[in-house]
Structure 1
Amino acid sequence: MDTHAINSSQFTDEGQDRNRLAGCRSLWCQRFRHDVQPLQAGLARLRTLRRCTLWLAVWLALSSSPATARGETLSHANTVGPVTVTASLTPAEPLIGDEVVFQIRVEADAGVELLMPEFQENFQRYTIADFVPSKEILANGRTIETQKYTLQPMYSGPQSIPPVLVEFVDNRPGQKTTPEDFDAYEIFTDRIDFTVQSVLPKDVSGQLKPLLGKLEIQSETASRNLLYWLFAIVLIAIAVCLASMGYWRKSSQRRNAYEFARTQIDRLLKDQDSPTPALSIERFFVEISAVIRKYLEHRFEVRAPDLTTDEFLQLAAAGSELSNDHQTLLGEFLKQADVVKFAGVQASRDDVRRSSDLAIRFLEETRENAPDVDVSSEQIVVPNANKQAGGTTHV
């Protein structure tokens, strides 16, 4: 066999193999298309079904909504002769905080004069955010006038727009201009009732509840607060005690001027009545005279402890409420004391009793309206038994 024959046979076998491979490939593609086509059709049907379901849900939601939706308009129309008045409110069910638009639209035939309502005449219970009037005359002579109010309700719940009065004069030929005894024809709109919805859901109760539960107070904080309260209570108690003690001490150091002078004279007389007086007679007259002078200062506001008896009596007579009898009684007592103190006259027990009687009588007759005085710094007569001269001390 020659070489040319061998090569031809080889080429023939390779061509047959390629043909068989191409046939298998074509058969596999046909089977793949046959298997995939039902799957693609199923996916397409599934997408179509989903679109239909979505549109059905939207349609059901719209069909199940109430006839009067939030965005719809409440409208009423009234006609009297050649005039038609239409009152409308949008939206029909506003939420609190929404603005509502109330519009009055009046249509009249040619030759009719319209008298529209005054601004703010019917809306005292609302806040007027905007007001837009307009007027249009059509080619056939008809007139259209509108008034548009943008209102803000102040609270939620049932509310209403009261009837609005529109007047007109009929100037058409052959028509009666106005009714008898009236200046114009009248036409009222119907009252428009609506409800301002609350922003709260309908199932929310009116009772307020806290968002979180009650927080427990930490024990350390509670103990610290308790200590602070106890410390504050102790401080307040101490302050009250100190104030009470100060008030009691101040009150205990105030005595009636008459009672204070009488107590000192009684002490002096008790000493003189004893078998061995601690004070000499001369010292007795010095002390009793000082007691009366101090009483005069407190009772009659005669402040002159260093004056002589005559000067003291003149001052007491000129600037006090001492009567003449009391001035005479006081002068007799002080002069008798001066005789013993300065003239060196030896006084007897009878002189002591006579002077003390004058002093006590003066105190008794002038005790009315005697003031309370602070005796903390006053010299109180305390006879000293160890010294014959006696003396005074502070108590």
Structure 2
Amino acid sequence: MPEVTIYSCRISAALVAVLGVVVAGAAAVAPPVAASNSTGRLQQELDAMVRDVGVPGALLTVTGRTAVTLRSGTGDVRTGRPVPSNGLVRIGSTTKAFVATVVLQLVGEGRVRLDAPVEEYLPGVVRGRGGDGRTITVRQLLQHTSGLPDPGPLLPHGREWADQRFRHHDRDELIHGALALEPAPGPWSYTNTGYLLLGKLIEQVTGTPSWRDEVQHRIVRPLGLRHTYSPDPRAYRIRGPHPRGYIKAPGLVDVTEQDTSHMDAAGDMISTPAEIDRFFGALLRGRLLRPAELAEMRHMVPAGGAVDQYGLGLELNHLSCGDLVGHAGQMHGYSMLAGVLVDRSGRPGSALALAVTTEPADMNDFQRVMRVAETALCSPSSSATL
């Protein structure tokens, strides 16, 4: 598949002031490759998003009839080095799509039933004020309709988290701590607790030491995803070339190295935008699941916040030309928007993965990121259709 790689280093004046670095104009660190008008327009949109949202760097891959990789900003605010063209990033909750795929493969093998109570697989584990595994099903864990509280209130945030980012968290303690909280209100409530439990369920059903082994065996290796992995939580560094990740605390704090045990199966994986494109492309085209399980995965319910609808480990967000079906993710220092454009007939098309090196501050920032996806996938001369 032909590939075009473009790099642009445009940093807003406000960001320059924060970083304490001098950038002369909007000079590119590397000479750009000649590109089509549609790719040029997409590069402009990516540069504008970096400037408007105030993120240090961004890396975008769109995989259609051609593969296009675009970069903007800087990969390291201290040195000013460029974003690596296929840099590894922490993908946060995009991990959930991998975990859900493994669970649905187990469903297809007859080893897990979607509408069975969680108690059947994890006896005695889900008991507390926040929920009861005897009445919560596997489907509800996958779809965030279990009502289980999120462990977020148990964890530090902002600068306090940055100062404690090498602290190790025990998964069972997080689950039990969350179960002591009040149940989440409403029919749909996003909760990492459900996916912490699903990681545990995979281990119980398969007998493997870690859910990570099943993700590697069932998804990563068959698809040849050489740069996609779930790290040992105490392996703080990202292996391979990567942009550095930052939180605004206020000002930018480099949190690239961190212990990821607080996320576990809810969001600790590392990958590249190109490999995330490959994963979602394979998933939505039926290469990882049988038709029955893929249909279950794509059965959506109304969601909330930045998500229009949610399936079994899949998010759906509306675009003008169809729906972006995949899963976004945030992990301290990084944020990802990823999925496949599905047209009105339900047919999958081009894949997109956009990583930025900090987390959107609010819905306005998220919508600004979504505009990049709209330009990439829906403009009349979209790069995705080259």
Q: Would you call these one fold, judging by a TM-score over 0.5?
A: no
Q: TM-score range, shorter-chain basis?
A: under 0.3
Q: Taking structure 2 as the reference length, what is the TM-score of the superposition?
A: 0.18
Larger radius of gyration: 1
TM-score, with length taken from structure 1? 0.18
Report 1 or 2 for greater relative contact order, CA contacts < 8 Å, sequence distance ≥ 6. 2
